[in-house]
Every structure is written in structure tokens, then in C-alpha cells.
Structure 1
Amino acid sequence: MQSTGSWQRESGAFFLKGVRIMKKSRIAAGLGLVIVAAAVAAVAYWHGAAKKEGIRWPQNQALPSFPKPADRLDLISLNTALVYEGEGSGYGQTTGKADGGSWHAVAGTDKAGELIMDVKGITEVPAGETKADFQLSVDQFADENGVVAKLEVIDQQTGKTLGSLEVSNWDFQQENASQTFEVPLTAPDSPHPLELRVMWTGKSSLRLYSVTFQSPRKADEAAMFETLRGVVNSAEPRIYDEDKSGTYWLDALGLSYTRVKDNWQLMDKYRKEVKGIVVYDPDVPDTYNLATTIAGLKKAVVAAPSLLEKLTGEPYKLPIVEDLRGKYKSNIEVYDDLYSRYWSQTTHKVLVGLSPDLKTNLREYAMGIKAAVVWLNPAVPEEEALLNKFMKDMPYGTGLYLGWWPDEQQGVTKTSEFGLATVAADYSSNLSVLSGTSRNITLPKPPVKPPLENKVYLTYIVSDGDNLQYIEGTLPKLWDNPDRGKIPLGWTVSPLMADAMPGVLDYLNRTATDNDVLISGPSGMGYTYPNLWTDQKGLDQFFARTNTYMSRAGMNVLTVWNTVVGPTNPNVGQSIAEHAPSLLGFTSQGNTGVISVYNDSMPGQELQKGYGSSEPDLTTYVEDAMKTWDHNTPLFVGIQAQPWSVSYQDFEQAYDYFKDNKDIAIVRPDVYFELMRESKHLPVHPEP
């Protein structure tokens, strides 16, 4: 029999009193278990300990959604280098001056035998073997060899010199060229402060660019903590790496955080969530990718042999779940074993490509989504054959390759052959946190189209927005430019942001000015060369999904790449017209300015300049196009430039160059295509 119980709430918790379950009746026992389970669930819920939702990956989503980030995130740095910039003030310099990104001491002018760097009280260098890299250059070689500088690292407490090097004039290979001089040292076990000194002799003019401490131990620790993030953030994003963009996106999205002083505090905090250690083999670097794959499946951290004593001992006592040392002789053996033993357990929607030398950034996300991690070069026949095995198992039309390639064009060509798209993301460092932000995306205000006239309509586009790490790390610097909004400009971004960083996409839409518009980077749902796709049905599916994601993001202009300079094949344009009907139009890279209309509904234009790299590219190609203009019809000139060497100020200067020309109207890309559609007698606003 079962006695009845009564629910009582005391001090914010629920208690079930007097519950007893007898074995005389299976029904009574079952009912009792249900009641007890309900009681436990209620207590867990009340205390906020309900089971986390975990990562969700609906069938129609290109990338999964991580859970909502924790109310307060742990903010860490995985930077493995301690850098002192030569031009920095307050470094104890007694001669020379800051000049062009360096500290410059000039022979015959500045006082010789003095210090061009003297930093004291350095406590961040970890104990053990490390090195200091000094970046130096001489203005010119002396007629006679002689010591130019003495480099020293000193134990400030004992006065002992830990490492030193005398650099002579003839040690430099070239004049006016930065060269690295390495000073090995062993930092003391006890936390003695260190002193860093660079004494200039005056023999030749000398520039000091930087001094960087590199610690193998610190690098091993950073790599391990990256995989700890992979374990922890897959259940609930709680650890954020500040190295890519500081706290910019945390502040922009209203996410709270606490800076972690010692990363080992996180192992203390999250030890119970870690199931063990996967040990990689430093003698076979690609085992790090295999170890990352295994760790994602087994909720383990990846560790170098140097960390085993600490991780397996007190207080962590982590078991070794797999030790890869001594098992492989080559990268082919590593990835062949990955394919044979683990590929069936990982997702086939995504394959991650990371150099084994890159041990942070995207790895935490790869672990969270349980993806296989490889680094295979399509230009090497044996590696290509193995890569083909992975890719043929992936879904044609929707599969993604996240990361990067040894060679861009060869890699994107390979994914295109298999109906896949590359997503540049190898240096994306916080996708687990950003993926868990709200999926409610603010749609931008529609633009006001001016009347169509017989003018030159000019539009400018910033390229490379398909690159998720660019969005995370570089775009904030451009977006925060105080002049942003002064000129009409199209900013390429990835429609995949709707999955990978929806909060960031929403922020960009909300903070865009009337002169800013987001458009899709190449070639929609990832970087691919559509001309190389052999399955038309798969290509149609790719553009249909692109249409869906662009609509959700509020974008209606697409950029399509078939290499940096390639035009778009007719079947590709037709596919866009039929399966992405809500778009205003698309651009391609032909560099001719030719406009084609596909299916009597979709304009596509080969930009006059598809990938500009300098400020003159923003004006010269416009003037060249105008040389053949008849002034009796509208002329459409599109210029796209990359953000790595073309600044916002360059776009402003180009705008100022043309602004007084009454024949030229500079407009946003969406307005540009609305005017183009009108000139081609197409509906200005297509039916979705």
C-alpha cells in the first residue's frame, strides 16, 4: 500500500512527506515512482538545477543552436605570447625615441651605451623552459663587424642572468628588415620577477620592434583549456575567450562576465564535467586533430604529455581515456584511423579543417557539434584520396566545411566538386557562446529608391564577410568607425550568422545607418564555386536554402564567386532566379560590368572590379566604365574591395572624388539593384 503525502514549501524548496512504497502492487509502486520522480524534478527546477536543454540541431538548420549563454560568463585569455612593443612608452628607455612602430636609436645622434628597453617586475612568464624573441633591424651595415646590442633576461630577485645574447652588425641578413633573435632561458620555479634589458652600443642605428616571450608550457596549457571550453560550453556556454575581440561582443549583446585571473581555476570549477584526457603525440602533429575529434565524442580534454602529471594527480585525478603516443607514423595513418574508427560517430553535416598548429579558436565549437577535425591538402594525391572519402559521405547541397585550407582556391574547388561550401572560420573563437544568443533578428528598414534617371549608378561593396572570424574580430573596428554612415556602402556578411551568431547579426541590423546595408558574401550559404557543381538538383537546394536564410536575415543582394575573377555560368544564374526569387539581384566576379537577366526575373552583374585592393581601384574602374557610356541610358558600375588593405577612409575619399559629378549617383547595393530592375522592366520588388 502507499501512504499519502503532502507537499510543503519551506525556504524556497519543495518537500514530500510520508511517502512509502510497498512491493505488494506493481501499480502502486509505479505510481509511487512517478510521484517521487515528480518531487525530484520539482526540487531541481526550484533550485535552478533542471537538466540543460543542450545543443539543438533541427533538420532544416545548417548549423546547430547552442544553449543560451550563462548569466555570467568566465572571461579568459588563451594568448600564449607575452609581448612588449618596442615603441611602448614607460619601458625604461634612456636613449632613442619611438618611430614608426619601433624604438629607434640613431648612430651619431643618440647617446650610445644606453638602454632602449628596460622592463622590470615581469611576473607573467611561467616557470620552466621558455624563450624571448627580439625583433630588431639595422638601418645599414657597418664597414666593420661589431656588437650592436646586448639582449638580457635577468632574475630580478637574485640578479642572475637567465639568458643573454650579443647581436653583431653582421648577424643581420638584410638592411632595414626585421629579424628575430632568440634568447632561450629557464624561468625560475618560484615566482621571481624578471627584468628584460636591451642595451644599445651605438655601433649602428638600431630599431627594436618587439620582445615576445614564448613558453611551450603556456602553449600546452592554452590548448588544453581550449578543449575544456569544448566540454563545458556544449552543455551551457560559460567560458568566453577575449583574445579575438576583447569584450566587444559581450558588451554589445549585454552579456555579463567575470575575468578569470588563473585559467586553472576553471579546471577546479568544471572538473566534474570532464570525463578524462586524450593525449596527443607531439611527434605526429596531426594526432592533435584526432585527439580533438575523440575529445568531443567523449567529453574529454586534450593534453600534451607535459601536463599529464598535473592532470592525473591531485586534485584532478583525471583518467586517460585514450593515449595516441607512438601509434602513428604519418598524417595519412592518423586520418585513415579517424575515418575508420570515429567518422561514423561524428556529424556528417560539417567537416572541420584546422591546421594542427592552430590549437585554439574553432576547436571548442568543433567539439561541441561533434565534428571530425582534419587537415588534408587536395594538392597532395594521397591526402586528396582520403579527403574524398570524407566528403562523399556528406550531404550534397547542404554540407559545410568549417575552417580553412592550405590553399584557398584548391580547397574551395574541392568542396565545390562535392556540392559543399567552405566557411572560413579557423580563427573564430567564440561560436559556442555567440550561437546561443537570441535567434530573434531585427529586419532592416527598406530603403527609399530615387527616381530612375540616365545617370551612372555607382555602388561600393566591402568583401570577405563570408569569413566568420572577420565578423568576430575585424568588423568591429570598421563598424565602430565614427564616420560610418556618411557614405552608401554594402557590407558582406554570412547568412549562416542566423545560426552561428544570431545576436551579432541582429546587432548589425539594429545599429546600421540609413547608408549601411548588409548583403550576402560568397556564395550564400558558404564560400563555393557554383560553376563546378555537377548535380543541378543539389545546386538548386543550395540556393533555395540561401534564399530562406537571407530572407530571415533581412538581406536581398547576393555575391557569387567562381574564383576571384570568374563569371557565373548561365545554369547558375537560372538556379538563383528560380530558387532564390526574393533576391533583388546578384553580383559575380567577371570584371566586365555585363548585366544578364535570368528567367526574365533576376538580374546578375559581373562587377567592374570584383576584388579591389587599393584606393585607386575605387575610382579608376569607374572612370574606365564611363568612357563608353552614351549618356542616354543608365549605367551601372559596381566596385567590391577587400577590407584588409582598403579602409573606410578610402571609400570616403572615393565618394568625395565623385560627389560633385552630377552624372554620378552613389547608392547602396540594394537600391542599385532596384534601379537596375526598373531599367530592365522588372518588378522593383520581387515576389518572395
Structure 2
Amino acid sequence: MVSRRAFLAGSGALTVGGLGVVPGFTSAAQAAVSSTSGSPARLLPVFNRPRHLDYGDVSKLSGGDQTLLTTLQGIVNRTEPELYFLYDTGTVSVPDAKWLADMHLPTKLYKNPLDLVAKYRGRIRGAIVHDPAVPDSLNVATTLAGLENAVVADADQAKAHGLRIVKDLRGMFDDDVVKTYRWQLDNLFPKVTHKLLAGLPPTRVVDVEGVQWQEIARETQQIRDSSNRGTYNLDVSAKLGKEAVYVRFADSFTDDGWGASVRHVVVTANGTEFARFEPNSPEEAPYLFDGSHSSIGGEGNRFADGGNYWIYRFEPPAGTTSLVVTVEMWNQYLVSATDTSPTRIEPFAYFRDYVVATKALVSWLPPGGATGDLLIEHYAKYPTLAPYMGWFANDVSGEWDGVDLASKGGSPVVAADFYMNGTVHAGFTAPISDKPRPIRRIDKPKNKVYVTLTFGEGDNIQYCQRRLREIWDDPKRGQVPTNWTISPLLAETGPGLYSYFQRTATANDLLVCGPSGGGYTYPGSWVPAELTEYLKMTGGFMRRTGLDVVYAYSSRQDDKWILLSEEIASGYNEYTPVKGIMQTWDGDPLTVRQGGLPITGQWGAPGKAAEFKAAMDQRIANWDGASPLFISGGIGAWSWSPSDMGELGALLGDPYEVVLANAFYDLLNRVL
């Protein structure tokens, strides 16, 4: 999953002269590795094909009720997928409903989805009761639910639905996360599947409807160079009168990735200081109401880009009439305040059907410190190529550190934390062609700027299920040659999804393999012998899904992305069908030939079409026009759409020529 700022760093261009229906295997590596000409055996668990689906709209249910239903779904669908849920809304305009309609299966709508608990009560042994006072007990309960053929519930839910309590976790754990997951690893690992491990947050933050925010401060210019860095006094006195004041820091320009950034905070009530802290410090913790949508920068600053934000909660002394928050702040800030608690904490329900059905062990271990050490132990216990499915804590830094640890441990990452109805999609079969897209070959290259443009994020199967479907269905798709990263593992986690994108692609759409092959990984962090197994597995999946271009990372050194080594590039060349690699790395030159393959750095620019075009004009300003120039451009999948691509394409006249990646690398292979 490409982080929000990662692809902006590049500037690449080149001038050239056994569980029921889930059969076990001895080793995940042995099962997944194929020859360079054969098809891979199953990497991920097998599910039967659904024949009829009971479904309901759970979008308005609490996280606790959603968790009850998704764990029920896991038990029921393990044998044969029969339950399907709509998580956003019941209309056909959103992905859950669209995918359901695409399957053309007999269905029955349950207006109250909780009625399904009574219908399928005979399929389960009862409930694993988690401890609401210990959030991580919900993950232990999920692991136990898979092993005990039970659902996850709190005590009130178990009573309301007449469920026998199979195991009661109340009082069993405390707030020591390491101790909780140590108990789980020591006691449950021998019983769970060893074909995958999962990482899911036990809770989620849910917005409270009807909260009124008052704008306090806004940067009205698109500043990305910290030139407005200064000390700002934010008077939030207008929101005094209730128990607390909530102050939210967000991005005033949500489409370019340079939102609010804060380094120091001092809070005064009636002129007297009562809070002083720096981000990511113990002193900040009592005031950080919701930091899950923000990140920590290199100098200890807290920032939030795009649609992200963070919220502080300040409870001033009684009688306070003046409340001022003084911050050192910069970039594109948008600060607002309210006197109403804007969010609540609920159980995180998503993807638990898949975890329960496969009898997987699920944890939530931030990849640093003592929790990171325990996560390393998890990887060490699993066979090479057993995927880590879910996600990591701590946003961008958690992504980088977590994927790095997984890579060192021989586990490709499958971003799946918001992958809904996974047990249904994994069982539904659909035709997938193994034929690569024919190349519209450029026989006689001209002295042009050849550009290939790629949407990132495709390694993330929940992105493929949700955001990609949303923008893919834009009627303006196909106006501009566009590459779309996608996970070849959808051949097993969602064949219907992959088939849909493959079948409905226009002549101007090309599917390319997301980073860095058969699962998100950093090849430079792998043990060499295990990397060979990963590349063989990747080659098998790419051939199976008709992919011949890959977007990749290597690894990070000294906080910089480095180029794939000659040895790693040679491995891609030997074991996979790639014709070229687009890669994020820092430094120059950013287009090379390594291991017999052309590798291009991903160049990117903030903003939408006009800014992208202006930045590209600046990038080629020193080009003499005497030979072809090649630029591989990264497009922000969370902020761009085909309509935006249409606007960009209209701007890219002479000397630019936009081409698909297969033609781009075919040409590079002949001129580089």
C-alpha cells in the first residue's frame, strides 16, 4: 500500500540515445511455489461456491452487533457461504450491493439482520464473551470463536440472543497488551491454522452524527514547504460551557497530501497554563482524543493529510471563560472546534468472518518496542509465505515498520482489514484469463515524452473491493491510457472481483501487479532464499492472472527507499513474467536497467490535473528534445478518478504521449 507521501518523493525520468473445506498443507511455501511454467497450488484457504445467500443491511448496526454477525458468518460460511452483509447502505450504488448483484445468485433479504442469529443458532456452539474493559480481548475472542465454532459477543448480547457462554474472557486479561497476546500465542497457536496470520484493530472510532464544528483557523493557500510555520493562538472560547472542548486538526486541501502539521501545544485557561505537550509524548496522551487518523513526522510533529485528522480534548477548570490553544503549526491546516464528543469507540467487525472461518490467530501488535518483538515471534512461528492478512497500527510508520518486519519474517502482507464478506468472495468462482494484454507497440519511437500513469494501492484487496470499484465505474474511464495496480491474490481471495475488472477493462485500461507481487512486501528485506520462494509464488500468480508488469518497493535504509538490487531484479526476471518494474525509490538516476529489466522510478506531483501538468512541464524543462524521454507517473488512488485523468489527458498534448505500461516497457526494452 503506497503511503500518502511515498510516491511524491520520486522524480524518475530517462533520456536515451486442513480445516474442513480448508485443506491444510505441510508448508505454505511448498504449496504456493510453482515452476516458472505451471500454476501455483493454493496459497490461501479454499471455500465452497455459494448457491444461495441470506443477506441484510448492517450499516446502521453497532460495531458489537456487526461483530456478532460477522463471526456468525465465519462459522456458517466455513462449510458453504450462505450469509452476506451490506456494510455501507442497501442501495445498488455502493460496492457491497454491486458485488452481490454481480454474482446473480438467489438471495433473501432480512430487514433485521439480527434475525439471522436465531435462524443459524443451531450451527454454533454458543458465544465467546469478550471483556469490554480490555479491547484486545475481542481479538482473543475471535481466535477462540474460530476454534470453538462460536460467535463473539458481550454478556448482554449473549443473554439477548439466548446464547450459551462457551468461554468468558471477562477478568482474564488486563491492559497489558503484550501479556494478552503472549497468552494467545502460547496457548492457541498449536490449534490454529498455520497458513495465515491476521492483524486487526480490536476497536474502531465512529463519528457521532449531528456534531457541529466551528472553524477556528484555515490556511487558504496550498503551502507545502513549511513557509507558514509559526506560532498560532487558537481561541476556542466560543465552545466553552459543556464538559470539554474538542479541537480538530485537518487538511484544508484534501487532494494533495500536505495537511496540518503541529509540533508544540500549550493550552491556557483564563490566561493560566494548564497543558503543555509535544506530539507522541506521554504528556500528550491525556489530551489526544482521537489520533488514529494521523501520523508522526520525522521531527516528532503530528500531521494529517487528505481526509484525515486528529482531535484533542481539553477539559478546562470550572468557571473558565477564555480557552486558548497555542500551537507551532504549518502547511495546509484547517482547525475547528466543538463542545460535543464527536466520536465513540466500538468493536471493529470487519474481516472477522474470514479469520473465524479459517481458524486463524488474530492480534494487533504495533511493530515497535515490546509489541514489535512479539510480532517478530509470530512471524518466526509461521512457515515461509504464510500471509499476514489485515493491517498494522500507527498508520504510515506502522505500515513501513510492519511490512518490513513481515518481509524479514517471510510473510507477504495482504491489506484486508476492511475486506467485507471475504468468505463469500473467496468461494465465488469467475473466469480469469491468463493471457496478458496485447501490446500496442511503438515501432518507431519519436522524440517525445512517453508517459505512463498508474493508480496505486492495488495490493490492498479491500481497496480493490471498495474504492477501486467506485472509481472504476466512472463513465469517463477509458478516455486516457491508465494502469491500475491490482493484487493477483484476488484469484483466491476474490475471483469475482478480479474477473470483473479484467472483463470490463477498456482498451485504455491495463491491470498491473501491485507492490511487490503476490502480496505487499519489501523484497530487499527478505532472506535471499525465502525471497526466491516469494518470487516463484509471485510468478505463478502473475501468469495465472495475465499480469506482466509489477509496481514494487525494495526496502528502506536511513529513512530512504532504495533501488532494487541487481540480484533481486534478476530474480524478478527469472521467476516472473515481468517486462518492466515501476518502483518507488529516492535518488538519481531514476531509470535504470537492473537484472536485465528496465526499472523506472515513480514520479508524482501533488494536486490534480493542472498542477500535475505544471509539475511535469517543470520536470522536463531541461530536456533537449533530441531523444525520447520516459516518465512513469504515480496517481493518488484515494483522491483521483478517471474524470480527473480525463482532465489531465486533455492537457497532455505535444510533446507528451501517454501510453500503457506494457507499451512503455516494451519500448524501453528496445532503447535502454
Contact 2:486 2:513 in 1 (8 A): yes
Contact 1:613 1:646 in 2 (8 A): no
1:625 Cα shift? Answer: 3.5
The 1:347/1:281 distance shift into structure 2, 3 A limit, reads: same
Q: Distance in 2 between matches of 1:629 and 1:576?
A: 33
Kindly report which structure 2 residues correspond to 1:147-158, keeping only aligned pairs within 5 A, or say none: none
Structure 1, unaligned runs of 5 or more: 1-51, 82-217, 313-317, 681-688
Q: Distance in 2 between matches of 1:399 and 1:510?
A: 27
2:584 counterpart of 1:589 = yes
The aligned residue for residue 635 of structure 1 is: 629
2:392 counterpart of 1:404 = yes
Q: AA paired with 1:240?
A: Y
2:153 counterpart of 1:303 = yes
2:166 to 321, 326, 339: 321
The 1:267/1:67 distance shift into structure 2, 3 A limit, reads: same
The aligned residue for residue 545 of structure 2 is: 553
Structure with the larger RCO, 1 or 2 (CA within 8 Å, 6+ apart): 2
2:339 counterpart of 1:493 = no
Structure 2, unaligned runs of 5 or more: 1-18, 26-30, 33-41, 89-94, 205-347
Q: AA paired with 1:653?
A: E
Q: Give the SS at the match of 1:246.
A: helix
The aligned residue for residue 54 of structure 2 is: 74
Q: Distance in 1 between matches of 2:444 and 2:195?
A: 45
Q: AA paired with 1:623?
A: D
Q: Give the SS at the match of 1:631.
A: coil
Kindly report which structure 2 residues correspond to 1:248-647, keeping only aligned pairs within 5 A, or say none: 248-312=98-162, 318-329=163-174, 330-358=176-204, 359-379=348-368, 381-406=369-394, 407-438=398-429, 440-442=431-433, 443=435, 445-453=437-445, 454-533=447-526, 535-561=527-553, 562=555, 566-571=561-566, 573-590=568-585, 592=588, 594-599=590-595, 601-609=596-604, 614-616=608-610, 618-647=612-641
Question: Greater CA radius of gyration, 1 or 2?
Answer: 1
The aligned residue for residue 133 of structure 1 is: none
The aligned residue for residue 683 of structure 1 is: none
2:46 to 65, 82, 103: 65
The 1:552/1:568 distance shift into structure 2, 3 A limit, reads: same
Q: Distance in 1 between matches of 2:178 and 2:428?
A: 38
Q: AA paired with 1:594?
A: L
How far does the alpha carbon of each residue in 1:38-78 deviate from its partner, in whole angstroms, 9 at most, with x for none? xxxxxxxxxxxxxx9723466232212211012x2111222
Structure 1-normalised TM-score? 0.67
2:66 counterpart of 1:222 = yes
Q: Distance in 2 between matches of 1:405 and 1:613?
A: 28
2:651 counterpart of 1:651 = no
Contact 1:540 1:579 in 2 (8 A): no
Q: Give the SS at the match of 2:488.
A: coil
The aligned residue for residue 277 of structure 2 is: none
Q: Give the SS at the match of 1:342.
A: helix
1:571 Cα shift? Answer: 4.2
Q: Give the SS at the match of 2:203.
A: coil
1:578 Cα shift? Answer: 4.0
The aligned residue for residue 665 of structure 1 is: 657
1:397 Cα shift? Answer: 4.4
Contact 1:350 1:402 in 2 (8 A): no
1:343 Cα shift? Answer: 0.9
Contact 1:397 1:539 in 2 (8 A): no
Q: Distance in 1 between matches of 2:382 and 2:627?
A: 48
1:618 Cα shift? Answer: 3.1
The 1:670/1:382 distance shift into structure 2, 3 A limit, reads: same
1:569 Cα shift? Answer: 3.1
The aligned residue for residue 177 of structure 1 is: none
Q: Give the SS at the match of 2:143.
A: helix
Q: Distance in 2 between matches of 1:416 and 1:519?
A: 21
Contact 2:457 2:486 in 1 (8 A): yes
The aligned residue for residue 85 of structure 1 is: none
Structure 2-normalised TM-score? 0.68
Identity of aligned residues (%): 30
Q: Distance in 2 between matches of 1:626 and 1:573?
A: 30
How far does the alpha carbon of each residue in 1:575-621 deviate from its partner, in whole angstroms, 9 at most, with x for none? 4344334111111112656222223x321111223x75543563244
Q: AA paired with 1:280?
A: H
Q: Distance in 2 between matches of 1:239 and 1:613?
A: 42
1:267 Cα shift? Answer: 1.8
The aligned residue for residue 99 of structure 1 is: none
The aligned residue for residue 670 of structure 2 is: 678
Q: AA paired with 1:385?
A: D
Cα RMSD for the two superposed structures: 2.2
Q: Distance in 1 between matches of 2:127 and 2:144?
A: 10
Q: Aligned residues, how many?
A: 481
1:299 Cα shift? Answer: 0.8
Q: Give the SS at the match of 2:64.
A: helix
Q: Give the SS at the match of 1:524.
A: coil
1:565 Cα shift? Answer: 6.4
Q: Give the SS at the match of 1:603.
A: strand
1:234 Cα shift? Answer: 0.8
